[in-house]
Amino acid sequence: MRRSTTLALVATLSVFGCSDSVRADLISPALPDTLRFRIEVGGSTDVSNELFYEEAFEDTTFLGRRLVSSPQTRYAGVMATSLEGTRGARTHSYAVRNDLAIGNRVRRDALGVVWRSRLSPEWRLDATPRIEYRWDRSFDRDLEQIAASGTARLRHTFLDPGTAAELGGRADFSRSSGTSAPFIPDRNAGGALRALERAALAGGDWRIEYAFNARAFPDSQLRDHYEHGIDTHWRNDWPAGSVWLEFGGERRVPIYAAPSTRDRFLEGRIAAEAQTPLSDDFALRLRTEGEALHYDSPDDSLYFDYQIARAALSLRMESAGCWMLGVGPRVEALFSRLDPGESYREIGGALDCEYLSAHSWWSVSPAAGWRQYEPVPSGSIGLHAPFAFYEVAAFADQSLAAALRARLSLSTRFEFHTDNSQDDRSLYFSLDVRRLF
């Protein structure tokens, strides 16, 4: 009897054109809300050093060429707390996270919120406010900064579930104090965005987004500017491989008449990537990138036009979905008509090794190459000498016993110039160990 009554009610609602969401609420029981709280407590350390040569003097006495080192070690106690849950029978979800670090040279506290509301089957609202405080005494800095930002997006999904449109707005501000504050001017900013995208189960995925931003600097009205930006990407997969394309750019113009051209420019970028399988375990990937910056009134010293082109070819091997190895050449070139001393050609090669499992993520990427600078015109002084470079970047995220988790980051680079007074070596190492409760 109860079952026949329910079927009759559904049929009646259908006749009178009741929405699918109302019918679903009457048929399906409300889902219980969820709540989860987590704490991470531990410590972190950062070690960095840069070594280079310089000519040393004592008063007016030349002491010769000396190796200069700038090592620094930073350590901190860290604690992260997070609260995640849902409300309204899971029609609303939220995540609140606070990251606190108190160290010998840097102290920071960041609070971020992610809120998502399902207003109807077609409409969704996302909001992501964030605020951060930072006290920085690293590398002789004297900086105290507070910054806040927030983004809200209203998303509409069309009858075709793969197609959606977004309308949003954003705002942020920053305030700094201390002797290093002039290098980070106070800022007020706000803007809006509009986007259209499609994510189909079969065929190409694409997205196009336009954003408008306005920025004002209380300490320097001449830096106030408007900025128009566009970002697009497209991806398609076939049995013979996949193709990914991206294009974007910004146009910045000052609000007030300014003597400098640094906030009157057009910047663009484009990237393309293609991958094709060679066998069950091997694939060939080609990636190309391009960047260009054009000032309305360029000069040959500070604000000069330039273009950068990059390309990398990689033979990739994947094993059992855990291991990935990639090796291949890469090239890069910078072109500058007004400042040819900055132009260069670079050729090199890289090896990428990555391991991913349920409890581990390891990545190691060594690379080496040669950078050749263009000859400067007669009568000019070249600032750069050609050099060979060797570098390694590594990252690890590893689960340990007793609910411990370690995260490691390492990068090091060696440069050997034809003018050995420009030789340079750098090291950065970071280790973060936490216990999850």
- Tens digits of per-residue pLDDT, 75-97? 999 999 999 999 999 999 999 99
Instruction: Express as a percent the part of the chain with pLDDT over 90.
Output: 70
| Residue-level pLDDT at 29 | 56
**380 band by pLDDT with thresholds 50, 70 and 90:** low
Cα torsion through 245, 246, 247, 250, rounded to 10: 180
**280 band by pLDDT with thresholds 50, 70 and 90:** confident
The residues pairing with 106 across neighbouring beta strands, listed in sequence order, are 136
What is the Cα–Cα distance from 271 to 259, expressed in whole angstroms? 34
Packing angle, helices 2-15 and 20-27, rounded to 10: 170
H/E stretch holding 10 reads helix 2-15
Ranking 52-61, 86-95, 108-117, 227-236 by mean pLDDT, the lowest is 52-61
What is the Cα–Cα distance from 153 to 164, expressed in whole angstroms? 12
| Residue-level pLDDT at 163 | 93
Q: Quote the pTM value.
A: 0.82
409: nearest Cα among 422, 387, 392, 424: 392
| Residue-level pLDDT at 412 | 96
Q: Which two tokens stand for residue 158?
A: 């069309």
Q: Which two tokens stand for residue 185?
A: 């001017």
| Residue-level pLDDT at 21 | 39
The residues pairing with 354 across neighbouring beta strands, listed in sequence order, are 324, 363
**Those residues with Cβ within 8 angstroms of residue 99's Cβ, 6 or more apart along the chain or in another chain:** 78, 79, 80, 108, 109, 110
Instruction: Tell me if 166 sits within 8 A of 192, measured CB to CB.
Output: no
- Tens digits of per-residue pLDDT, 22-59? 333 434 456 899 999 999 999 999 999 887 655 544 44
- Tens digits of per-residue pLDDT, 58-80? 444 444 455 667 789 999 999 99
**318 band by pLDDT with thresholds 50, 70 and 90:** confident
Instruction: Tell me if 217 sits within 8 A of 175, measured CB to CB.
Output: no
**110 band by pLDDT with thresholds 50, 70 and 90:** very high
**Those residues with Cβ within 8 angstroms of residue 87's Cβ, 6 or more apart along the chain or in another chain:** 33, 93, 94
Instruction: Tell me if 94 sits within 8 A of 114, measured CB to CB.
Output: yes
| Residue-level pLDDT at 157 | 94
User: Average pLDDT of 295-309?
Assistant: 88
CB atoms within 10 A of CB 293: 18
More confident residue, 338 or 43: 43
Mean pLDDT of the chain: 88
Side-chain-side CA neighbours of residue 44 (13 Å):
23
| Residue-level pLDDT at 17 | 38
Q: Which two tokens stand for residue 387?
A: 């050099």
What is the Cα–Cα distance from 408 to 394, expressed in whole angstroms? 8
| Residue-level pLDDT at 312 | 98
Side-chain-side CA neighbours of residue 420 (13 Å):
3
**183 band by pLDDT with thresholds 50, 70 and 90:** confident
